[in-house]
Amino acid sequence: MTEPHDGEPPGGLDLTTAEWGMWQAFRTGSTHDLRTPYPERNDPSGPHVWGPERSVRAEIVALLLLDGPPALPGRVAALKLNGVRITGTLDLSGGTVVPYVELHNCRFEQQLLLPESHFTTLRLVGCAIPRVEAARISTEGDLHLPRCVVRHGIRLTDAHIGTDLLLNQLLVRRDRRGVSIAADGLTVGQDLQAEMMRSHGELSMRGATIGASLSLRGSALHNRYGRRALNAPQLTVERTLYLTAAGVSGASFSGGATPPYGIATSTPEHGTRVQRFECHGGARLDDGRFGDAVDLSQAQWVMEADQELSLRRIQTPELRFLGERQQGGRVVLSGARVVNLVDRYDSWPGPGGLVMAGFAYENLIPVGHFPLARRLDWVAAATPEYAPEPYERLAGALRTSGEDAEARAVLLAKQRRRRETLPPAGKAWGHLQDWTVAYGYRPGQAAVWMAVLWALGTVYFTWHPLHPLKEGEGPAWNPELYTLDLLLPVIDLGQGGAWRPTGAAQWIVAALTLLGWVLATTVAAGASRLLRRQ
C-alpha cells in the first residue's frame, strides 16, 4: 500500500469508475450517488439489472471502512452511498469502523457480515440485503435499517446499540430456522422503533433490554411456520411497550432524513389513516418488566387454538388492554402484576379464551361502558372451573375505588358460583341463605324478612292467644313481644318460656324459631366476612 497519508488507493486494485468516485467521495465525506433519472430503475428490490456503472466491490468498501485514506483538509471522511450495487460479501467481522456510514437504496448481492464489529453510527436506509449477520455488534450511536428488505433474516444476538435502533418499515423474512430477527440478549441504550415493520417468521427478543421505549406501532408480525410470531420472555423496557396502531401521515419520504418516515408517533389527528398492529401467531412476553406501561390499543391478534398471547408474570404500572378481541387462541395473565388495568369490555375474549389465575391489579380504569354484570362475565370467562381468587381480587379493586356496594355484589356472585360445586345438601342450604339474606351481603334483605315474619306472627297470635304455663304467673300476654322473642335466638325478652303453645301454634312457634336462627346465623356469617374484608 502507498503511504497512508497520500490518499491514493493501493497499487493493483484497478478501481473502476464507480469505485474511484466512491474513493474520492469518502475523502470529502460527500454522497456518491449512482441513481438513474428513472425512479423505477432505482428500486434495489426491483427486477431491473444494475450494471458495472453502478457496481462497487465489497472488498473496496471494506478497505475504505477498516483502513481507508485520510480525509481532505477541512473535511470528515465518511462512506455515503446512494443507489449503488455492492458485489461480493461485505465482511467486516470483528473490525472497528471509525468513519460515519450511511447507505441509501443500495443493493447487496451477498449477505452482510458484521459479527463482533464496532461502529460509531451505521445507517442502512431502503437497502436490499440477502441477510444481515450482526451478532454481538456494538455501536456508539444509532443502528438504522428502515425501509430495508432483508430476504433471509437478521441476527442481532447480544448486540449492543449505544443510542437508538430503528427498524421502521423494514421488511424481513425468515432464515432457515424460521426466525426473522434473532435479537436475544440485545441491549439498546435508548429507543427501539420498529414501526410499520413487516416480519415473516419469529421475532425473537429473549432477555433483551431497552433503555427507553419499544415501539411496534402499526407493524405486522406473521409466522406460519411456528407457534409464535413474537417471542420475548424476560424483556426489560424502561418505559413503554407499544403494540398499537400507527397514524400514517401523507408526507413523502425525504432522502437523507432520519427515520421514522411519515409515521405519527403521537395520537393520530382526525382524518389520519390508521394502521393497526397485527400479530398472526402467538406472542410471548412472560416475566417482562415495563417501567411505564404495556399498551395494546387497537392491536389485532390472530391465533390458532393452541397459540397464546402470554403475559405470564409481567410487571408494569399500567396495562392498556384495548385491542380487538382475538381470533382463536387465548390470553394468559397468570401471575401478572399491574397497578392500573385500563380495559374495554369487547377487548377481552369469551369463555375458554382467558386465563388469569394469580393476576393482581389494584385499580380498574374501564374505557367505555363496562357495567358490573359484564365485569362478572369477564371473571366467569377466566374461570370455567370455580376459583375464588379472581372474584376476591375484583372485589378488592372495587372497594379500593370506593365501590363498596359493587364489591359486595361481586362477593355474592362468588358464593353463588361456589354453591354450584357443593353436594345437594350444601346447594339446598346455599339456596336458602341466598333467598333469605343473600349470604349476608345484603343485610337490608334480612331486616325485611324479619319484619315480614314479625308481622305475620303478630297477626296470628293476636287472633290465637296462648295460655300461660302457670295461671296467675308470668308477664301479661303481648303477641308482638312474643313473636319477637321467637325470632331473636340470643336475646330473651321473657315471653318465649311463659306460654304454652298447642295444636297448630306449636308448628308456628317452631317455624318462627327456625327461621330466626337461619336469619341470625347467615347475617352473622356475612358480618364476619365483611369484618375480615373478604
Which grid cell is 297?
390499543
Do 112 and 133 form a contact (C-beta atoms < 8 A)?
yes
Is the pTM for the entire model greater than 0.85? no
CB-CB contact of 454 with 483 (8 Å): yes
Handedness of CA 365, 367, 369, 375 (dihedral sign): negative
Predicted pLDDT of residue 266: 47
Tell the burial category of 457 from Cβ atoms under 10 Å away from its Cβ (0-12, 13-18, 19+).
buried
Which residues 6+ apart lie within 8 Å of 195 measured at CB? 168, 169, 215, 216, 217, 218, 219, 246, 260, 263, 265
Per-residue pLDDT reduced to its tens digit, 349-389: 988 899 998 999 999 999 988 888 898 889 888 888 888 88
Chain center to CA of 512: 57
Cβ(123)–Cβ(146) under 8 Å? Answer: no
CA–CA separation, 354 and 93 (whole Å): 47
Q: What is the CA radius of gyration of the chain?
A: 37
Q: Is the dihedral of CA 391, 396, 399, 404 positive or negative?
A: positive
Spell out the per-residue pLDDT of the chain, length 534, in tens.
344 446 788 877 889 999 999 999 999 999 999 999 999 999 999 999 999 999 999 999 999 999 999 999 999 999 999 999 999 999 999 999 999 999 999 999 999 999 999 999 999 999 999 999 999 999 999 999 999 999 999 999 999 999 999 999 999 999 999 999 999 999 999 999 999 999 999 999 999 999 999 999 999 999 988 889 999 999 999 999 999 998 876 443 333 333 443 344 445 555 567 899 999 999 999 999 999 999 999 999 999 999 999 999 999 999 999 999 887 899 999 999 999 999 999 999 988 899 998 999 999 999 988 888 898 889 888 888 888 888 888 888 888 888 877 888 888 778 777 777 778 887 776 766 666 666 666 666 666 777 777 788 778 778 777 877 777 666 777 778 777 777 777 676 667 667 777 777 788 877 777 777 777 666 665 556 555 544
Per residue, what are the HEC states of 228-290?
A: EEEECCCCEECCEEECCCEEECCCCCCCCCCCCCCEECCCCCCCCEEECCEEECEEECCCCEE
**440 Ramachandran zone, left/alpha/beta (phi>0; psi -120 to 50):** left
pLDDT at position 11: 75
